[in-house]
Amino acid sequence: FYLPLVRDIAMWCGGREVTVTSMELAFQEGRSVMLVPGGEREMRENRPEHSEIVLITRHKGFVRQAILHGAHLVPVFGFGESRLLDNFRAKSTQEWFAKRTLYGAPHFPYGRFYSPIPNPAPVTVVVGKAIPVKKNPQPTAEEIDQVHRAYFMAVRDLFDRHKGSIDGFEHCTIVCPDFDYQKGT
């Protein structure tokens, strides 16, 4: 988003920076907010050919914003999305860069012929039932954890419910390295 042309194209398409200020402005304007909670780490962890799909669940800021504004959370999963583009692997360099800078780790996504044109792959997007979120101007850590748990449990349930009907995903599993399904955190 910090590259001028990328930023401009994203803004023309309705994209915004993923910041508290940007989210609050969108809510004040009466708009919906769509974001990918896993972000860049999820891009680094997933490989198109793997049967394990990694979901990064440690981010809770979007849940806090939903509670502050009383915005419902809608679980969504895109089967096949990780097959559109791959990323040149330099995991240790990318992790080092991400920990030491304000910017995301350098990514070099590629598709057909090692270009930015996505690979031809079917993508099936499934949308779950909205999770109602009660507005609270001062949410507690427990309240944030409860809504966060409900959201990621709903994403996993959505995946499990539909994976059998999507070619190539029948035997896939979701792995959440930051989430304990027994505790829900």
Q: Specify the pLDDT at position 181.
A: 65
In whole angstroms, how far apart are CA 16 and each of 1, 94, 157? 9, 23, 29
**Are residues 37 and 44 in contact, defined by beta-carbon separation less than 8 angstroms?**
no
**Are residues 125 and 84 in contact, defined by beta-carbon separation less than 8 angstroms?**
no
- Band (63; pLDDT cuts 50, 70, 90): very high
With a cut of 70, say whether residue 105 has pLDDT above it.
no
Q: What CA–CA distance (Å, rounded) separates 88 from 114?
A: 10
Mean pLDDT, residues 24-35 taken together: 90
Q: Specify the pLDDT at position 38.
A: 82
Token digits for 83?
A: 């097959």
**Are residues 84 and 111 in contact, defined by beta-carbon separation less than 8 angstroms?**
yes
Which residue, 184, 123, 122, 121, is CA-closest to 157? Answer: 184
Q: In 3-state terms, what secondary structure has residue 158?
A: helix
Q: Could you read off the pLDDT of 112-153 as tens digits, one per residue?
A: 998 889 999 999 999 999 999 999 999 999 999 999 999 999
Share of the chain above pLDDT 70, in %: 92
Q: In 3-state terms, what secondary structure has residue 106?
A: coil
Q: Could you read off the pLDDT of 35-57 as tens digits, one per residue?
A: 888 877 787 788 777 889 999 99
- What's the whole-model pTM score? 0.83
Q: What CA–CA distance (Å, rounded) separates 176 from 185?
A: 10
Mean pLDDT, residues 160-165 taken together: 97
Phi, psi (deg, nearest 5) at residue 163: -60, -30
Q: How many CA atoms lie within 13 A of 85 on its CB side?
A: 13
Token digits for 131?
A: 């999770």
Q: Rounded to the nearest 5 degrees, what angle is found at the Cα of 175, between the Cα atoms of 170 and 181?
A: 110
